[in-house]
Amino acid sequence: MITSRISAKLEGQYGAEASSVSSLLEEAEGRVFHEAAEEKITAAVVILADGSVDKLLGAIELMETDWRDLLIAAELAHADWPSRLDDIFGTS
C-alpha cells in the first residue's frame, strides 16, 4: 500500500521516477498478495532500497521470496515497527 507518507519518501528519493517506482511496487504487491500489501511491507521495501533502483529490485525480490525475511531485514519484524515507521516516514 502506497500511503501518502511513503509516496512523499519515494518522491524525495526517486524524483521524477517516483511514479514508476510506485507502479512497480504496486505490481509486485499484487503478484505476492493479490492485493495491496500492508503499509509496513511496502515501507520495508522502501527502507531497504534507500533510493537505489538496484536495491529496490533486490528488496522486491526478497518480498516475492519471503516477505517475513523482508520485514526482518528492514527491522520491522518486532512490536515497535509503528514507531520505526514514524521515525523514518513521519507520522501519517
Supply the pLDDT for residue 66.
95
Q: For residue 23, with 0-12 CB atoms within 10 Å meaning exposed, 13-18 middle and 19 or more buried, which class applies?
A: exposed
Using 70 as the pLDDT threshold, list the residues of the chain that sit under it.
92
Supply the pLDDT for residue 92.
66
Instruction: Record the pTM.
Output: 0.94
Q: Which pLDDT tens digit goes with each residue over 31-50?
A: 999 887 899 999 999 999 99
Query: How distant, in Å, are the alpha carbons of 1, 6, 33 from that of 27?
Result: 11, 16, 10
Supply the pLDDT for residue 37.
84
Return the closest-CA partner of residue 3 out of 21, 28, 22.
22
